[in-house]
Structure 1
């Protein structure tokens, strides 16, 4: 199961993720900024986007 939390900055996404993580075992939290950093470090320069949110799903 994947639970994807989305919302405005400061709306409590991280807090909810951490609470769910405590209640659901085993579970993991993936930070989209870390995924963006992975893209920047591993994708060829010619296909990289300026903002990792521009990558299509």
Structure 2
């Protein structure tokens, strides 16, 4: 029998690849912006950093 992932709460968003649906937006925006200005690798790095900060602020917001 395979283990089934149970969400922490009923309002948890779905996960896409490594991130939840609301975390992937800053990554995609920075990645696409990096593609438009021909700076793809820095755009990816900025996307990972943006997701890291977004997770930090989102988790603080949930504690209140």
TM-score, normalization: structure 2?
Answer: 0.29
More helix by share: 2
| Structure ID, larger Rg | 2
More strand by share: 2
Q: Greater relative contact order: 1 or 2 (C-alpha under 8 angstroms, separation 6 or more)? A: 2
TM-score, normalization: structure 1?
Answer: 0.31
